[in-house]
Amino acid sequence: MFDLILFVVIVSVLALVAALLLTRWVLGKDTGNEKMLEISNAIKEGANAFVKRQYTTIAGLSLLVAALMFAVYFLIGNIDFGIQTSLAFLFGAFCSGLAGIIGMWISIRANIRTASASTRSMNEALKVALRAGAVSAITIVSMSLLGVTVLYVVYQLAFGLTPQEVPFVIVGFGFGASFVALFAQLGGGIYTKAADVGADLVGKVEAGIPEDDPRNPAVIADLVGDNVGDCAGRGADLFESTAAENIGAMILGVVLFPVFGLNGILFPLVARAGGLIASIIGIMSVNVKESEDPMNALNRGYYLTAVLAIIGFYIVTMLLLNNIYFFFTGLIGIITSVLFVWITIYYTERKYAPVRSIAEASKTGHATNIIAGLSVGLECTALPIVTLAAALMSSFIIGEMSGAPHGGLFGTAIATMGMLSTAAYILAMDTFGPITDNAGGIVEMSRQPEKIRKITDRLDAVGNTTKALTKGYAVGSAGLAAFLLFSAYMVDAKLTGIDISKVPVFTGAMLGAVLVFLFSALAIKAVGKTAYSIINEVRRQFKEMPGIMKGKVKPDYARCVDICVQASLKEMIVPGVLVVAATVAVGILLKTEALGAFLMVGTITGILMALFMNNAGGAMDNAKKFIEEGNYGGKGSEAHKASVTGDTVGDPLKDTAGPSLHVLIKLLGTITLVLLPLFL
Amino acid sequence: MFDLILFVVIVSVLALVAALLLTRWVLGKDTGNEKMLEISNAIKEGANAFVKRQYTTIAGLSLLVAALMFAVYFLIGNIDFGIQTSLAFLFGAFCSGLAGIIGMWISIRANIRTASASTRSMNEALKVALRAGAVSAITIVSMSLLGVTVLYVVYQLAFGLTPQEVPFVIVGFGFGASFVALFAQLGGGIYTKAADVGADLVGKVEAGIPEDDPRNPAVIADLVGDNVGDCAGRGADLFESTAAENIGAMILGVVLFPVFGLNGILFPLVARAGGLIASIIGIMSVNVKESEDPMNALNRGYYLTAVLAIIGFYIVTMLLLNNIYFFFTGLIGIITSVLFVWITIYYTERKYAPVRSIAEASKTGHATNIIAGLSVGLECTALPIVTLAAALMSSFIIGEMSGAPHGGLFGTAIATMGMLSTAAYILAMDTFGPITDNAGGIVEMSRQPEKIRKITDRLDAVGNTTKALTKGYAVGSAGLAAFLLFSAYMVDAKLTGIDISKVPVFTGAMLGAVLVFLFSALAIKAVGKTAYSIINEVRRQFKEMPGIMKGKVKPDYARCVDICVQASLKEMIVPGVLVVAATVAVGILLKTEALGAFLMVGTITGILMALFMNNAGGAMDNAKKFIEEGNYGGKGSEAHKASVTGDTVGDPLKDTAGPSLHVLIKLLGTITLVLLPLFL
C-alpha cells in the first residue's frame, strides 16, 4: 500500500514543483509599456477586491455549515463522524478556495505578459498564456489528488479508521470542495456576466463604441469578470470534479475490496497521477508556427496527452487490477472526452451549420436570432446525451465481462477516471481563454497597432473555443462522476434499488428536476438585476460627464467594479441556500430512496440544462463573431445588432447558470452522501 | 353494469344534443356588414384549405401506423390483439380528427358573429364566443367519453373479451387520439406561430403598421393560424387527455376488480359524465354586466362548475365505491386544477410582479427583456411542480388510508379524474380565446369605430388569459394522467418496479429526458424556418407592390396562407416520427424497465419544459401588452420594440413547442402501452 501512496504523493509534489517553475518562467516575462501596466493594474485591483470579499463571504458560510453539521451529528449522538466529516469539509473548502485564488493570481499577472509577448510573436504569446493556464491547472489537479491522499493516510493514523472506512468519511472533503465551488462559480459567474452584459449593452449598442473601449466605464469590470468567473470559478468546478470522482471511485473500491484488496481503493489515485504526468508533458509540447491556426497547436498537445494517458492507463490497470477489461472501460472514458470536445466544437464553431443558422436568422432581426439560438441550444443536447448513454452502457457491459462482482459498476467508474485523466490539459486550455481575452483587452485599451491586435484577436477567438469545449468536457465528466456518486450513495444508504414507480420516489424525482429549473432562474435573474444597475451607472456617467465620450475625461471604473461586487455577492446566497435546503427537506420528508431519485433525475435535468445553456450561449456568441467578420452586412448592420442581442442573452446562460449547474450536480452528489446519516 | 353504461351513454348523447342546440343558437346570430363578411370568408377559406391538407396528411400517417402495427403483431403471431388494437387506434384517430374539425368549423363561423355582436353589447359578444367555444368543448369531451364507452361494449360483444380484458385493448383508442393530436397540435402550432411571427416582424417592426392591419399580406394567414393552432390543436390535446385518463383509470380499475368489481372499471366513465353535466350548467350560467371585467364572469362560471363537480363527485363516489376517502382524493384533484389556474394567472397576468419585471427589463433593451422572460419561465415551474407533488403525495396517502389494496395508486387516479372533471368548461374558455382574437381582427380590419374595438380588445385580453390558463391546466392534467398511464404500464408489463440505479434503466431515463429537448428544438426550428419564408414573402410584396402600403392595392393574402400551409405540414413530420422511432428503439434495445424510466423521466422533463415555454411566452406577450397600455413609454418606444421582440420569441415557445409537449407526454404513455407486447 505504502509504495502506491508514496508514488501518488511524489507525483503530486513534483507536479506542484513543475507549477512553481512554470510560474517563475511566466513571471520572468516582461510587462510591456506603461500604458499596458496601468490597465493591468486596474484589472488586478478589481479582481483582488472581488476575491477578497467573495472568499470572506464563502469562508463565513463554510464555517457556518461545518458548525451546523457538527451540531447535528452531535445531537444525534454520532460525534466521531461529525468531527471527521466537518474537518474534511473544512479542508476541502480550504483547498478549493486556495486553488481558485492561485488560478486567479497567476491569470491577472499573465494577461499583461501575454499582451506584451504578442508584440513579439504569436508563439510566445500563446506559450505564456497556456503555461500560465497550466500553473492553475496543475495546481488544481495535484492539490485535489494530494488532499484526498493526505486525508486518506492521516484519518487512518489519527482516528484509527480502517482503509475501508476512510472513503466514507472523506466524502466531506468533496462536499467542502463543491460547496465552495458552487459559490465561487455562481458569484464569479454573476459578476462576470453582469459586467459583460452591462458593458456591451450601453457601450456597443447605445453609445456605438467598440468592445474594450477605454471610454466605457464598465470595461474594467468586464475584464475583471473574465478572471473571477472563468479562472476562479471553473478552477473550483474542476477541482471538485476530480475530488468527487476520486472519492466516489474509492467507495466503489471498498465494495470491491474482496476482489482487488487495497489496490481497488487506491487505483483512482494512481490512475489520476498518471493522467497528471501525461497532461504536463502535453502542455510543455505545445508550439505554434506564425502562419498556423493556434487551435491546431493546442489540438496536437491534446491528442498527445490523450495517447499518453491511454498508455499510462494501460500500465496502471494491468499492474493494479490485472484485468484488461478495465483498461477498455478506461479507454471508453478517454474516447468519450474526445467526442464531447468534438461535439461541442461542432455546435459552437462558426465553421459549422449551427452557428451559421443563427447568423443567418439574424438577418430577419432580434427575435429570429434568439429563436434560432434557443433551438440550436435545445438540439445540441442530443448527441452528448447519446454519447454519455453509449459510454455508460458499453463500460457497464465490458465491466460485467471482467468477471469481477459489481464489475459493471466498477467499469463505469473507471470510464469516469479515463474521462478525467486529461483534466489538467483541458483545464490549462480553459484558463488560457480568459488570459488571452484580458490580453486582447489590454492591447485594445492601450491602443496598440493593428498587427498586434490581430494576434490577440486570433488568440482570443481560440480562447473562446477552448472555453466552450471545457464546458462540454466539464458537463460530460460531471455526468459520469455523478453516476459514480449515485453508486456510492446506494452503497452508503444500503439501498438495493431506486424505484421511481413508487409515488414518493417519483415525487422526489420531480423535485430534483424542478430544483435545476428554479436554480437556473435565480442565477439568470441575478445577472439581469446586477446588469441593470451597471447599465444605469454607465448611462449616468455618460450623461453627467460628457467628456468621457470625447476621450478627455477618464470614466469612474472603480464605481462599476464596486456595484458589481456588491450585487453579485448578495445574489449568490439565495440559490446556494436553496440547493442545501431542498436536499435536506427531501431527505427528511421523503426519505433515502426518494432522495436518490431526487439526486439522479436532478442530475439528468442538470446535464441537459447545462448543455442547453452552455452551447446556446456559445453558439450565439460565435454567430455574432461570424457576422463581425463581414458576413450578412458585418459590423453595424441590422443583422449585427440582432446578433449582439443574441450574444447578450447567451451570456448569463453560458457563463453563469450553465457552469453553476455542473457544480450543482456534483454538490447534490456529495451533500446527499454527507447528510445521509440524518435521513436513515 | 348496464345501467351505469346506459347512464354514461345517455349523458353523452344529451350533451351532444346540447352542443347542437348551442350551434343553432350561435349560427342564428347575424353576420355583420359586408366588409366583415369578406374578411371572415378569407379566414374561412384559408382555414379550410389548411385543415383539408393537414388531415389528409394525418389520415395517411394514421393508416400507415395502423398497417404497421397490424403487420408487426401479425408477424409475432398475436393477430387478435393486432386487429383489436389497430381498429381501436383508427377509431381514436378518427374521433380526435373529427373533434378538431368540429371545433374549427364552429370557430370560423363564430368569429364574425362575435364581431357583429360586439357592435351591440359586450355581454352578447361574450356569450356568442363562449357558447361557440362550448360547442367545441362539449363535443370533444362527450365524444371521448362516448368513444371509450362504445368500444368497451362493442369489444365485449364482437370479440368476446371479458370486461377486465377490454381496457388493455382499447389503449389503442388513446394511442390513435394522441397520435392525431400530436400532428394536429404540431402542424397547427407551427402554422399559427410562423404566420404570427412573420406578420409581426415585418408588419409591426419593419413597416410600422399596427397588428391586424389589412395592408399586411400575412394578416389573414395570422388570423387563420389562431383557428388551426388554438382550436383544432388544443381540442385534440384535451380530447386525448380525457381519453387517456379514462383508459388508464379503467386499467387500474381492472387491478382493483377484486375489491370494487365492475364499478371500479366503470367509475371513471360515470365520474366524467358527472363533470360534463357540471360544465354545461357552468357555461350556460355565464353573463356579464357592461361595466364589469369579463374575466370575473368567466371565473364565476368556473367556480360554479367546480362546486357542482365536487357535489357530483361525492354522489358518484359514494354510489359506486362507497368509500369517502376516494371522494377526498377526487377533491384534491379539483383543488389542484384551481391552483394550477391561479398559479398560471399569477405568472402571466400583467397585474403581478413577473410580467411587470419583464416589462421593466424592456427599458434596457431587447436582450434584458429576453433574459427576464427566460428567468420568469424557468422560475414559474416551481409552484406547479410542488403543487403536483403535493397532490400526488396526498392523494396517495389518503388512498392508502381507504384500506383498499393498491388504494394509494387508485387514489392518485381519482385525483386525476377530479382534475379533469371541469375539462369541458376550461376547454370552452380556451376556444373562446381564438374566437375573440379573430373577432378583434375582423373589427380592426373592417375599420369599425373605436368604441367597438374597445369591446373586442377587452375580450381579446381575456382570451389571452384563458388561453394561458388552459395550457397550465393541460400540463397539470397531463402530469397526473401520465402517472395513471405509468401505473397501467407497470400492470401491463408485469413490472414490480423501475429501478433507475441500474445502468440500462438510467440510460433509458436520460434518453427520455433528451427526447423532450430534441423535440422542442425541432418544433421551434420549424417555426423559425417557416416564419423566415413568410417574412421574405411579405418583404417581396411590399417591395414589388408599393401600392400596398398606401392602401391602394390589396395584398396577396392567399400566397402567404399557401406558403404557411406547405411549410408547416412538411415540418411536422420529422418531430412526429422521432417520438415514435425513439420509443421503439429504447423498447427494443433496453427493454421494458428502461422503457418505463424513459416514459417517466421523459414525462417529468416534458412537464417542466412545457411549463417553462408556455409561461415564458405568455408572460412576454402580456409584458408587451402592459407597455402598449402606455407604460414605460407605451407604443413606439424603445421599450415597446424590445417587448415586441420578447413576444415574438415567446410565440413558438408558448404556442408550438409547449402545447406539443403536452401531447408528447401522453403519446409516450399510450404508445409504450400499445407497443409493449413487442418488447416483452
The one-letter code for the residue type at B540 is R
Contact across the interface for A497 and B502, Cβ inside 8 Å = yes
Distance of CA B487 to the CA centre of its chain: 23
Q: Are A666 and A479 in contact (CB under 8 A)?
A: no
Closest Cβ–Cβ partner in A366, A498, A517 for B645: A366
The phi-psi region of residue A565 (left if phi > 0; otherwise alpha if psi is between -120 and 50; otherwise beta) is alpha
pLDDT (tens digit, 9 = 90+) per residue, A273-306? 999 999 999 999 988 887 888 888 999 999 999 9
Q: Give the number of domains in chain B.
A: 1
The DSSP annotation for A257-317 comes to: HHHHTHHHHHHHHHHHHHHHHHHHHHHHT----TTS-HHHHHHHHHHHHHHHHHHHHHHHH
- Residue A168 domain boundaries: 2-679
> B531 to each of A367, B149, B193, B197, B202, how far by Cα in Å?
11, 42, 8, 6, 10
Closest Cβ–Cβ partner in A205, A495, A500 for B597: A500
Cα–Cα distance between B381 and A319 in angstroms, integer? 51
| Å between A315 CA and nearest CA of chain B | 28
pLDDT above 90: percentage of residues in chain B: 46
Nine cell digits for residue A482: 455523478
Q: Are A513 and B608 in contact (CB under 8 A)?
A: yes
pLDDT value at position B1?
62
Which of A185-194, A624-633, B374-383 is most confident? B374-383
| Å between B482 CA and nearest CA of chain A | 12
Number of helices and strands (H, E) in chain B?
A: 23, 0
Closest CA to B540 of B555, B528, B552: B555
pLDDT value at position B311?
96
> A353 to each of A198, A239, B290, B583, how far by Cα in Å?
30, 34, 56, 28
Coil, strand or helix: which one is A499?
strand
pLDDT (tens digit, 9 = 90+) per residue, A168-201? 888 899 999 988 988 888 888 898 888 888 887 7
Which of A273-277, B73-77, B166-170 is most confident? A273-277
Q: Is A85 on the interface with B (CB under 8 A)?
A: no
Beta carbons within 8 Å of A31's beta carbon, 6+ residues apart: A37, A40, A112, A113, A116
pLDDT (tens digit, 9 = 90+) per residue, A567-586? 888 888 898 889 989 999 99
pLDDT (tens digit, 9 = 90+) per residue, A193-248? 888 888 877 877 777 787 778 888 888 888 888 788 777 787 888 788 788 878 88
Q: Kindly state the average pLDDT of the residues A302-328.
A: 94
pLDDT value at position A335?
94
Q: Are A143 and A176 in contact (CB under 8 A)?
A: no
Minimal Cα distance from B498: which residue of A?
A499
Nine cell digits for residue A205: 449598442
Q: Are B540 and B227 in contact (CB under 8 A)?
A: no
Q: Is B58 on the interface with A (CB under 8 A)?
A: no
Cα–Cα distance between B558 and B543 in angstroms, integer? 18
pLDDT above 90: percentage of residues in chain A: 46
pLDDT (tens digit, 9 = 90+) per residue, A518-558? 999 999 998 888 888 888 888 889 889 888 888 888 888 88
In the stretch 558-597 of chain A, residues with CB closer than 8 A to chain B read 596-597
Does position B278 have pLDDT exceeding 90, yes or no?
Answer: yes
Nine cell digits for residue A245: 470522482
pLDDT value at position B377?
96
Question: How many cross-chain Cβ pairs, A to B, lie less than 8 Å apart?
Answer: 242
Closest CA to A131 of A278, A252, A280: A280
Cα–Cα distance between A629 and A627 in angstroms, integer? 5
The 10 Å Cβ neighbour count of residue A110 is 31
Closest Cβ–Cβ partner in A501, A605, A649 for B370: A649
Minimal Cα distance from A408: which residue of B?
B503
B499: phi then psi, degrees, rounded to nearest 5 = -95, 100
Given the C-alpha cell 472523506, which residue does it identify?
A170
Average pLDDT, chain A: 89
Q: Are A531 and A197 in contact (CB under 8 A)?
A: yes
Question: A458 versus A355: which is more confidently predicted?
Answer: A355
Cα–Cα distance between B357 and B619 in angstroms, integer? 10
Cα–Cα distance between B259 and B320 in angstroms, integer? 12
The DSSP annotation for A404-453 comes to: -TTHHHHHHHHHHHHHHTTHHHHHHHHHHHHHHHHHHHHHHHTT--HHHH
pLDDT (tens digit, 9 = 90+) per residue, B302-352? 999 999 999 999 999 999 988 999 999 999 999 999 999 899 989 988 889
Q: Is B332 on the interface with A (CB under 8 A)?
A: no
Q: Is B324 on the interface with A (CB under 8 A)?
A: no
Q: Kindly state the average pLDDT of the residues A330-347.
A: 93
Beta carbons within 8 Å of B545's beta carbon, 6+ residues apart: B553, B555
Residue to mutate among B193, B375, B589, B607, with most A CBs inside 10 A, is B375
Q: Is A366 on the interface with B (CB under 8 A)?
A: yes
Residue to mutate among A204, A369, A371, A656, with most B CBs inside 10 A, is A371
Q: Are B309 and B583 in contact (CB under 8 A)?
A: no
pLDDT value at position A469?
85
For residue B366, which residues of chain A lie inside 8 Å, CB to CB? 366, 645
Q: Is A376 on the interface with B (CB under 8 A)?
A: yes
Residue to mutate among A379, A397, A500, with most B CBs inside 10 A, is A500
For residue B498, which residues of chain A lie inside 8 Å, CB to CB? 499-501
Q: Kindly state the average pLDDT of the residues A404-418.
A: 88
| Å between B518 CA and nearest CA of chain A | 5
Sign of CA dihedral A596, A599, A603, A605: positive
ipTM field: 0.92
Does position A110 have pLDDT exceeding 80, yes or no?
Answer: yes
Closest Cβ–Cβ partner in B381, B521, B653 for A514: B381
Strand partners, A499: B499
Q: Is A522 on the interface with B (CB under 8 A)?
A: yes
Q: Is A649 on the interface with B (CB under 8 A)?
A: yes
Distance of CA B105 to the CA centre of its chain: 17
pLDDT value at position B471?
86
Question: B207 versus A56: which is more confidently predicted?
Answer: A56
Does position A334 have pLDDT exceeding 90, yes or no?
Answer: yes
Rg (C-alpha) for chain A, rounded Å, is 24
Closest CA to A391 of B76, B314, B359, B507: B507
Q: Are A548 and A541 in contact (CB under 8 A)?
A: yes
pLDDT value at position A250?
83
Q: Which of A49-53, B189-193, B337-341, B599-603 has the lowest mean pLDDT?
A: A49-53
Contact across the interface for A365 and B201, Cβ inside 8 Å = yes
Does position B649 have pLDDT exceeding 80, yes or no?
Answer: yes
In terms of Cβ atoms closer than 10 Å to its own Cβ (0-12, 13-18, 19+), residue A674 is buried
Minimal Cα distance from A377: which residue of B?
B521
Q: Are B131 and B25 in contact (CB under 8 A)?
A: yes
Q: Are B63 and B100 in contact (CB under 8 A)?
A: no
The DSSP annotation for A68-133 comes to: HHHHHHHHTT-HHHHHHHHHHHHHHHHHHHHHHHHHHHHHHHHHHHHHHHTTT-HHHHHHHHHHHH
Strand partners, B499: A499
Q: Kindly state the average pLDDT of the residues A50-78.
A: 89
| Å between B512 CA and nearest CA of chain A | 10
| Å between A93 CA and nearest CA of chain B | 29
